[in-house]
Amino acid sequence: MMIQILVVVISALVQYISATEHQTFVLPQGTGPFKSSLTLSELIDKSRPDPFNASHARRIMISCFDPTPASSCKLTQIPYFPPVTAAVENEIVAEYEFPQILGHFELEVCAKKGNATPNRGRFPVALFSPGLNTSRLFYSSLAQEIASHGIVVITIDHPYDVDVVEFPNGDVIYGGRVTKPADANGSTASVEHALEVRAQDASFVLNTLGIGKQEKVVMFGQSFGGAAAATSMLRDKRFRAGVNLDGMMFGPVLNRSLGDAKNKQAFLLWGSSGHDTTTDETWGEFWSALQRSPNVDYAKEMTIVGSGHGSAWDLNILVDVAGIRDGLSDTARSLVGSSIPGARVWKVLGRYLPSFFEFTLGLKDEDVVFKAPNHRFPEVEILRSLEKR
């Protein structure tokens, strides 16, 4: 009898997943007061040969999510992934028993005319760097959430270390050029090189936007992208503040001071449940460096209780939009990150990250959610604080 029940359950699950593979799932706009438009751009740094392939100049792809008043927003839907990226990512997540549905998602965006540039005259600018071996496109929903609160969000693809980058002319660059320490007898040389390349990419984006030495922006990233945010701040003082969403730290930021006498900097460490400065040696070293620096004027360590490493990337909301979370295997669940719904994580980050950015940029006072536990966000814990203002 038990075997028959199990067969029926498995059969129903297979039929359910098969059905979802032929549907289209639309990701909604963010929860803030603004809608967001999207501009995709290729940027070519003609002054710099690509550090991973010197046969051509460094070229990157960015997505710019620009806050747009709801009254002037005409919603349209566009593919979440272009075809090649969808196929590559489907193949990768299949190894985790995840259904092949990544080509069936669409983003809801405001229609935008021409090659519009970020509206940084009105809104602050935040750069975003993705995890290693992922894609900037896997964070488009998160970017929309942050943009909906009045922040221009620019996500960056770093060719040769993210999974795949598709360019407007049809060129495709695949990743795999960065070796993790676990696959290099503990050596961090490859990842440290990649972080320096990402920092150069970030500075190039600022240069392309015409952001001068006295202007200030912020940067955040998930996993390896969080480490890239810290490295970028070390190399370029136009970055006033940074956020690391659950990524290990590498390189000079472990023992060198952020900021300088003329440019104070701030940082937010946001770990998954159980990943903090007491369990990750690199976080402990980085926090100690923040404490020692006379030019770091504000820092916090935060967590969402029950969250996982994948909680802050889009797969955690994609499964809910598709309605497949409950049907995932344990292996697939480990890829998603946690049982906390993606919409709830977005609600938390949509309150905390824009507030942190605006505070450190001097646009608003410190939000009450950073001063003490808040009843509206009971799952958020403040683990450490550093304030020198």
Dump the DSSP string for 5-27. Answer: HHHHHHHHHHHHHHHHTTS-EEE
- According to the model, what pLDDT value does residue 18 have? 54
| Choice among 37, 223, 273, 311 that is catalytic | 223
Hey, what amino acid is at 63? S
pLDDT of residue 111: 87
DSSP character at residue 29: P
User: Catalytic residue among 66, 161, 246, 280, which?
Assistant: 246
Of 149, 158, 275, 309, catalytic: 309
Decide if 330 is catalytic: no
Residue 100, pLDDT > 70, answer yes
> 2 falls in which pLDDT band (50, 70, 90)?
very low
The answer on pLDDT for 4 being more than 60 is no
Q: What is the pLDDT of residue 8?
A: 41
Looking at the predicted structure, is the pLDDT value of residue 322 above 70?
A: yes
Strands 164-166 and 380-387, by their bridges, are: unpaired
CATH number of 24-387: 3.40.50.1820
Average pLDDT estimate for 176-189: 96
Q: Which residue from 303, 301, 307, 333 is spatially nearest to 320, judged by alpha carbons?
A: 333
The whole-angstrom separation of Cα 108 and Cα 229 is 28
Residue 155 has pLDDT above 50, yes or no: yes
In the block, residue with structure tokens 């008043």: 69
**CA 63 to each of CA 12, 141, 290: distance values in angstroms, whole numbers, following the listed order:** 39, 12, 31
Q: 9 falls in which pLDDT band (50, 70, 90)?
A: very low
| 326 in active site | no
pLDDT at position 373, please? 96
How would residue 339 be classed by pLDDT, with cut points 50, 70 and 90?
confident
The verdict on whether 201 is a catalytic residue reads no
Residues 6+ apart with CB under 8 A from 287: 269, 277, 299, 301, 384, 386
pLDDT for 106 beyond 70: yes
Q: Which pLDDT does position 255 carry in this prediction?
A: 93
The candidate with the shortest Cα–Cα distance to 99, out of 323, 253, 381, is 323
Cα 96 from Cα 238, distance rounded (Å): 39
pTM of the model as a whole: 0.93
* Mean pLDDT value across the chain: 93
- Say whether pLDDT at 65 is over 70: yes
- Cα-flanking dihedrals φ and ψ of residue 311, to 5°? -65, -30
Q: Minimal CA–CA distance to 199: which of 178, 162, 225, 174? A: 225
Reported as a pLDDT band with limits 50, 70 and 90, residue 66 is very high
More confident residue, 119 or 293: 293
